[in-house]
Amino acid sequence: MTFLLAHLSDPHIGPLPKIPMAHLLNKRLTGAMNWHSSRANIHNMDVLERIIADIHAHKPDHIALTGDLVNIGYPPEFPQAARLLTPLGDAEQVSIIPGNHDAYVGESLSAMARAFRPFMLGDDGAGGAPEGPFPPFPYLRLRGKVALIGANSGVPTPPFFANGRLGEAQRARLAHLLDSTRKAGLFRVLMIHHPPLRKGARFGRGLDDALHFEHLIAQHGAELVLHGHNHRFSHMETRGPDGVVPVIGVASASAVPGTPHHLAEYNLMSLDFKTRTIHIERRGITSHRSDVEKIAELKINLG
Ligand SMILES: [Fe+2]
């Protein structure tokens, strides 16, 4: 009665395509400068390839990718990201949500949806609409006894800000989905890019409606919340009606050594429905040339 879930995030797939100046006269200008001055050296696509190969070597039942697939939300970045992520698997096996870099400016999310719609589509066909107001997140996908709920916290923000927001409509639908899946006795895994608790990120990088989110979970619960954004592993907790709700952040899946706290990792999580425990194995690299290996492990009892 276990389900093996691999969680990766923030691959920031590059290199950045050539961008006409007209497309840089907005937040992208600072984002592109940032890419060339630092991100290009931090995010390494060979490392991402090795992480994906290691994920598949463990034959997970499902894979969750929690956003920041690209860097400045420029439309040609998304097909390039889709090509590099092809080895990850098909839409039946992989669930994706956007991050703030995928929602960088107004046109970004529609471009993401054109490349990744099947991976952001709920079982009812809702989610990932290619055009128009970006779609009815959160989506719900059922895989065995697991309910995967994908929310979107990516919104365009001013330069130098990386905050996110769920908004009232998504929170209302989340409440409904969390209730119905709880009644059905499912193991609820909620995916959101931003660390969703108030203490989750420093000023200008967090979830604007984190307090609302905490209230939502206190009332409706979840068995596991997964996020990215901070490019490092983190384990926080909040309370739901049935007990503790773990909130787990994962490092970037493409980061190379040179920045001590930002090495590529992913989490391999074994969900045990019977004992209500989650075993997490952090797997990643420890140097440029190292294999992907076990970094640490922990066990969480949901009570
Ligand atoms: Fe990121």
Q: How close is the Cα of 21 to the center of ligand 1, in Å?
A: 24
Q: How close is the Cα of 176 to the center of ligand 1, in Å?
A: 29
Nearest to 3 by CA among 60, 87, 76: 60
Q: How close is the Cα of 66 to the center of ligand 1, in Å?
A: 10
Nearest to 228 by CA among 50, 97, 75, 82: 97
Nearest to 52 by CA among 77, 5, 85: 85
Supply the pLDDT for residue 131: 47
The whole-angstrom separation of Cα 189 and Cα 47 is 27
The whole-angstrom separation of Cα 122 and Cα 55 is 23
The whole-angstrom separation of Cα 95 and Cα 149 is 9
Q: How close is the Cα of 303 to the center of ligand 1, in Å?
A: 32
Secondary structure (DSSP) of the chain: -EEEEEEEB-----PPPP--GGGGTTTHHHHHHHIIIIIHHHB-HHHHHHHHHHHHHT--SEEEE-S--SSS--TTHHHHHHHHHGGG--TTTEEE---GGGGSSTTHHHHHHHHHGGGG--TTS-S--SSSS---PSEEEEETTEEEEE--------TT---B--HHHHHHHHHHHHHHHHHTT-EEEEE-SS--STTSS-TTSSBTTHHHHHHHHHHH--SEEEE-SSSS-EEEEEEETTEEEEEEE--BSSBPTTSTT---EEEEEEEETTTTEEEEEEEE-SSTTPPPEEEEEEEEE--
pTM: 0.95
Task: Establish how many alpha carbons lie within 13 A of residue 114's alpha carbon, considering only the half-sphere containing its beta carbon.
Answer: 14
The whole-angstrom separation of Cα 187 and Cα 144 is 9
Q: How close is the Cα of 53 to the center of ligand 1, in Å?
A: 21
Q: How close is the Cα of 185 to the center of ligand 1, in Å?
A: 33
Q: How close is the Cα of 281 to the center of ligand 1, in Å?
A: 21
Q: How close is the Cα of 223 to the center of ligand 1, in Å?
A: 24
Q: How close is the Cα of 172 to the center of ligand 1, in Å?
A: 26
Q: How close is the Cα of 97 to the center of ligand 1, in Å?
A: 13
Q: How close is the Cα of 231 to the center of ligand 1, in Å?
A: 6
Supply the pLDDT for residue 286: 86
Supply the pLDDT for residue 28: 81
Q: How close is the Cα of 162 to the center of ligand 1, in Å?
A: 9
Q: How close is the Cα of 102 to the center of ligand 1, in Å?
A: 9
Supply the pLDDT for residue 132: 44
Q: How far is CA 199 from the centre of its chain?
A: 18
Supply the pLDDT for residue 158: 84
Q: How close is the Cα of 253 to the center of ligand 1, in Å?
A: 10
Full pLDDT tens readout for the chain, 303 residues: 899 999 999 999 999 888 877 777 677 888 888 877 777 788 999 999 999 999 999 999 999 999 999 999 999 999 999 999 999 999 999 999 999 999 988 889 989 999 999 999 898 776 554 444 455 799 999 999 999 999 999 988 888 889 999 999 999 999 999 999 999 999 999 999 999 999 988 889 999 999 999 999 999 999 999 999 999 999 999 999 999 999 999 999 999 876 666 799 999 999 999 999 999 999 999 887 789 999 999 999 998
Q: How close is the Cα of 230 to the center of ligand 1, in Å?
A: 7
The whole-angstrom separation of Cα 26 and Cα 154 is 17
Q: How close is the Cα of 120 to the center of ligand 1, in Å?
A: 18
Q: How close is the Cα of 219 to the center of ligand 1, in Å?
A: 29
Ramachandran region of residue 260, left (φ > 0), alpha (ψ -120 to 50) or beta?
Answer: alpha
247 Cβ contact partners less than 8 Å away, ≥ 6 residues apart: 195, 196, 197, 200, 225, 227, 234, 235, 236, 237, 238
